[in-house]
């Protein structure tokens, strides 16, 4: 049986189309596909019986370390379901995994809560990206929901629709992320406006118009994605890049993949490789590609962008940003890492991800952290 049947959600549109064709023409494969899905549906039905409502399952997981978090009503409901859940834990190792996972999720939430409380009381913490403003607007909307007891669609951004054209505006000092159905993500750094023609039938528009700054994470689908600014036209397949556009100048920085950039008149352009940038001045052809330091060149996006960067260099940049000492084991310094991190994530969180990609460990020290290739 082809492996695609086991992770359909990870297939590209083209791979799904090919699979559907094979399912149409291969009866044996089709039966296996139905059998696999039927098994999944049956297991899920059985799990629903076994685990019951998510609220009670969460209460069951929280009870061990956070009993005081449960309301009286939740405790009563849990008491009624306890025998069933105890038996499920006993009989099914996956249930124990799920409960353990909920407890880990709670620990992660706890840490984020603590660090947020700590951060809000800390001054002069060093460079910070502008805060997102979506919450304020969402807050207003939720107040309206509470007042009218009517649920209406809630959007995080100021979105205006003119027929099928969507326009998203982000105010100065704010960062907003726009996610499209195919997984393409646009991180808008205000002031910025993104507009495009939306349709229920397509997962992503084929082109968008941008004024201001944005970092694009475009999922590869085999169909070109075009970003137009006042002075340039950028055409990509799957890639990550930053774009800063004013009425007179557009700067393009490519983090990964490949893209071509031309002037607004779409004359012959230049092709960028990762780690290169080009500038398009109004009425002119794009400048020749120029090598840049991605982390510096994309700092305006509030991101650390590492592409094939040595661990030693990453440690230096993080040390500088967070004002903390980070040492690196001899065996790790020259290893290469790729990744993108929000600059408002906690330092330890970023280091843990870097370490995980290397099979290394993060050890707290008196003045910071140490990345080491061996278990602490």
| Lookup result for tokens 């069951």 | 60
Rounded to whole angstroms, the Cα distance separating 243 from 227 reads: 9
DSSP output for 209-259:
EEEEEEEEEEPP-SS-EEEE-SSEEEEESSEEEEEEE-SSEEEEEEEES-E
Q: Which stretch binds another protein (CB under 8 A): 25-33, 194-202, 250-258, 331-339?
A: 25-33
Confirm or reject binding of residue 55 to another protein (CB under 8 A).
Answer: yes
Rounded to whole angstroms, the Cα distance separating 135 from 48 reads: 34
Q: Which stretch binds another protein (CB under 8 A): 104-112, 233-241, 267-275, 313-321?
A: 104-112
Number of residues that bind another protein (CB under 8 A): 86
Confirm or reject binding of residue 87 to another protein (CB under 8 A).
Answer: no
Rounded to whole angstroms, the Cα distance separating 342 from 76 reads: 41
- In sequence order, what are the residues at sequence separation of 6 or more whose Cβ sits closer than 8 angstroms to the Cβ of residue 293? none
- Among the listed residues 127, 139, 247, 283, the single contact to another protein using CB under 8 A: 139
Confirm or reject binding of residue 1 to another protein (CB under 8 A).
Answer: yes
Query: Cα torsion for 226, 174, 199, 260, to the nearest 10°?
Result: 10
Confirm or reject binding of residue 133 to another protein (CB under 8 A).
Answer: yes
Q: Which stretch binds another protein (CB under 8 A): 14-22, 268-276, 280-288, 294-302?
A: 14-22
Confirm or reject binding of residue 79 to another protein (CB under 8 A).
Answer: no
Confirm or reject binding of residue 140 to another protein (CB under 8 A).
Answer: yes
Confirm or reject binding of residue 45 to another protein (CB under 8 A).
Answer: yes
Confirm or reject binding of residue 152 to another protein (CB under 8 A).
Answer: no
Nearest to 192, CA basis, from 250, 245, 136, 127:
245
Confirm or reject binding of residue 223 to another protein (CB under 8 A).
Answer: no
Confirm or reject binding of residue 334 to another protein (CB under 8 A).
Answer: no
H-run or E-run covering 122: none
Q: Which of residues 286-325 bind another protein (CB under 8 A)?
A: none
Confirm or reject binding of residue 221 to another protein (CB under 8 A).
Answer: no
Confirm or reject binding of residue 16 to another protein (CB under 8 A).
Answer: yes
CB environment 100-129: b (16+ within 10 A), e (fewer): eebbeebeeeeeeeeeeeeeeeeeeeeeeb
Q: Which of residues 173-202 bind another protein (CB under 8 A)?
A: 173, 177, 179-181, 183, 185
Beta carbon nearer to another protein, 36 or 300? 36
Could you tell me the smallest distance in angstroms from the CB atom of residue 56 to another protein? 10
Rounded to whole angstroms, the Cα distance separating 137 from 298 reads: 27
């Amino acid at each position: 049986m082809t492996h695609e049947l086991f992770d359909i959600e990870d297939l590209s549109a083209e791979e799904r189309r090919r699979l559907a064709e094979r399912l149409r023409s291969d009866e044996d494969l089709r039966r296996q596909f139905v059998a696999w899905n039927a098994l999944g549906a049956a297991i899920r039905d059985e799990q629903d019986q076994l685990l019951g409502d998510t609220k009670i399952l969460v209460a069951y997981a929280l009870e061990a370390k956070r009993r005081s978090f449960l309301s009286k009503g939740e405790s009563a409901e849990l008491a009624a379901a306890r025998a069933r859940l105890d038996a499920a834990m006993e009989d099914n190792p996956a249930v124990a995994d799920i409960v353990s996972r909920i407890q880990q999720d709670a620990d992660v939430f706890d840490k984020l809560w603590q660090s947020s409380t700590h951060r809000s009381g800390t001054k002069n913490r060093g460079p910070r990206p502008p805060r997102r403003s979506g919450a304020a607007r969402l807050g207003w909307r939720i107040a309206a929901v509470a007042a009218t007891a009517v649920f209406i669609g809630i959007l995080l951004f100021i979105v205006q629709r003119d027929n099928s054209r969507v326009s998203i505006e982000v105010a100065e000092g704010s960062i907003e992320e726009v996610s499209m159905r195919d997984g393409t993500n646009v991180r808008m750094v205000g002031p910025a406006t993104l507009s495009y023609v939306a349709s229920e039938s397509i997962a992503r528009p084929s082109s968008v118009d941008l004024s201001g700054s944005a970092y694009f994470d475009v999922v590869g689908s085999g169909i070109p994605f075009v970003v137009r600014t006042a002075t340039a036209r950028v055409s990509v397949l799957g890639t990550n890049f930053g774009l800063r556009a004013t009425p007179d100048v557009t700067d393009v920085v490519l983090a990964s993949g490949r893209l071509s950039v031309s002037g607004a008149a779409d004359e012959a352009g230049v092709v960028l490789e990762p780690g290169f940038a080009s500038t398009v001045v109004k009425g002119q052809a794009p400048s020749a590609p120029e090598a840049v330091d991605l982390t510096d060149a994309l700092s305006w996006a509030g991101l650390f962008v590492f592409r094939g960067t040595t661990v030693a260099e990453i440690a230096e940049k993080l040390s500088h940003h967070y004002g903390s000492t980070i040492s690196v084991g001899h065996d790790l310094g020259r290893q290469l890492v790729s990744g993108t991190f929000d600059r408002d994530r906690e330092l330890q969180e970023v280091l843990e991800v870097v370490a995980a990609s290397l099979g290394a460990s993060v050890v707290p020290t008196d003045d910071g952290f140490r990345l080491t290739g061996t278990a602490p």
